[in-house]
Chain A
Amino acid sequence: MQITPAQLSVRNVRKSFAGKAGDVCVLDDLSFDIKERDFVSIIGPSGCGKTTIFNIIAGLLEPDSGSLQFRGEEVESLRGRVGYMMQKDLLFPWRTVLGNVLLGLETRGVDRAEAEDKAREYLKDFGLAGFENAYPKTLSGGMRQRVALIRTLIMDPDILLLDEPFSALDYQTRLYLEGVLKDAVETYHKTVILVTHDIDEAVALSKRVVVLSGRPARVKIVHDIEIDAPSPIAARSDNRFSGYFHALCAELDIQTEKTS
């Protein structure tokens, strides 16, 4: 195995939340590495703390202990350097498509005209030309999530954190957007961490899949996915696909037997 230095290292992170019956430990000594231009999926039982990890990486929550290292340097969080995309598209209803895409650049104080040119270009590349002045509520779910993806990519983040971004969409739209995502990640050379409850999606998209145990979350196993398909749909017809799929199912099944 070749040794590539980690882009992001999560080291011994612990996090508890105050609950009614005392503290609930959600992350207990969690560690994993993300390489440069990695595409890692995280799967695990719901409520095990996947969103919590993202919130810690994005700087929305502070861990109780543990650390984050970015390219070997200790950092508090990656706030401002990540593109965080959530299950809800979280488009701002009072902003047009263009306004939503510009949100991050505005926050950064990028020159307006320059930002707008860039935004229009992205919208065109993603097939949304002509929708610049539409309000989000007039768009379909798939289009809205595409706008959210553009809003994330246009900031040129070091790492994309995608928290079940397609789970609210129908299967066809999801397949289509998986393709859009995969192409975009390759075009813009991005590192991606994808949380999904969809094993099929994890195998089709990722280079590695991290399986978490139930609460408190620990890394149970990491599977390397060695499918080199041109698209997520093609990946599904690769002859190794079902092997990975069943292996991951088994990991999760053992999990559910244990906890229930």
Chain B
Amino acid sequence: MPDTVPMAKRRALRRKQGSRFDTPLGRAVLQSLAVLVFFALWEFGVRLGWISAFLVGAPSGIFAYAAKIIASGELISDTWYTFFEAILGFIIGTIFGSLLGLALWYSVFVARLVEPFIVAINSVPKIALAPIVVLWFGTGLISKVALSVSLTAIVALIAAYQAAKDADPDLQSLLVSMGADKHQVFFKAVVPSTLPSMIATFRINIGFGLVGAVVGEFISSQHGLGHMIYTASSLYDLNTVWVGLFTLMIMGFVLYYVIEIIERTILPWKQASTVQQVQV
């Protein structure tokens, strides 16, 4: 085989492309380094007067303030408050929406009937409902949860309905030929085949749950990260704003990985294929 590069050499070449940092630890080091450099440049920029600390804040101030409100317990309680609203909204909205979307599989007639209404509701920017939601549900916890539900339910509904419609008709036919009734087809073929896209919806909806909670807090609240960010920015207290934002970021980040763990537990049959990537 004169035209082929020897196998060992090719393997070595491939390894070089990925570099020796291409391990979990190596990547973590590079990622942490990038974050450190980012904050260092920011801090130096502020110290040297290139960046206005008044308009964008400074890492030293952000960390000092974070340490202070962590010690006082304020950050934990605000974080918990927002987290609770977002998760509650996410769970209620996603379950409610998914069940409704799946149920539409049972009747093509009903599904066709309500489709334009779903499209109409989906096209309303739900954030625009926030003031009314506060009017209806007050300034407490319930209005934020309601806002999160309004954002997540419709996404879950559309995704679940679409996934149920897309369930492989041949698998359903096979069950029918075995004598399965409609419920069995639903639970044995339709529901399991919608799970992957349901989980994908969880990912999107975690974000929407947080949006609902934070926007609700912007409008009126005495607690939560949204409230913290809103009041601080009206006082030009940028460091506090950043503490709130970074906490939200960390929360979203953690939730993303929690969903990944859920995915791995619910969809063990999906795992085998996700690792392979085409070598070019």
Residue A246, interface by CB 8 Å: no
Which chain B residues (161-213) contact chain A, with CB distance < 8 Å? 170-171, 173-180, 184, 188-189, 192-193, 195
CB-defined contacts of A187 to chain B, threshold 8 Å: none
Given A135-B272, A137-B269, does the pair A92, B189 have CB atoms closer than 8 Å? yes
Interface residues of A (CB under 8 A from B): 55, 58-60, 79-82, 84, 86, 88, 90, 92-95, 103-104, 106-108, 135, 137-138, 155
CB-defined contacts of B173 to chain A, threshold 8 Å: 55, 58, 60, 84
Interface residues of B (CB under 8 A from A): 170-171, 173-180, 184, 188-189, 192-193, 195, 267-269, 272-273
Shortest distance from the beta carbon of A116 to any chain B beta carbon, whole Å: 17
Partner of A107, one of B188, B192, B195: B188
Q: How far is the CA of A135 from the CA of B267 in the complex (A)?
A: 11
20 further A-B contacts with Cβ under 8 Å, apart from A79-B176, A86-B174, A104-B178, are A55-B173, A58-B173, A60-B173, A60-B177, A79-B177, A80-B179, A81-B179, A82-B177, A88-B170, A90-B170, A90-B174, A92-B171, A92-B192, A103-B175, A107-B175, A107-B180, A107-B184, A135-B269, A137-B273, A138-B272
CB-defined contacts of A107 to chain B, threshold 8 Å: 175, 178-180, 184, 188
> Among the interface residues A59, A81, A103, which one has the most CB atoms of the partner chain B within 10 A?
A103
Partner of A94, one of B177, B269, B272: B269
Q: How far is the CA of A155 from the CA of B177 in the complex (A)?
A: 12
Given A88-B170, A90-B171, A138-B272, does the pair A59, B192 have CB atoms closer than 8 Å? no
Given A92-B192, A93-B269, A94-B195, does the pair A103, B170 have CB atoms closer than 8 Å? no
CB-defined contacts of A94 to chain B, threshold 8 Å: 192-193, 195, 267, 269
Partner of A106, one of B188, B189, B268: B188
Closest 5 pairs between A and B when the two form their complex, measured CB to CB:
A80-B179, A58-B177, A84-B177, A135-B269, A107-B180
A-B contact pairs, 30 of them (CB 8 A): A58-B173, A58-B177, A60-B173, A60-B176, A79-B176, A79-B179, A81-B179, A84-B178, A86-B170, A88-B170, A90-B171, A92-B171, A93-B269, A94-B193, A94-B267, A94-B269, A103-B175, A103-B178, A103-B188, A107-B175, A107-B178, A107-B179, A107-B188, A108-B178, A108-B179, A135-B268, A137-B272, A137-B273, A138-B272, A155-B178
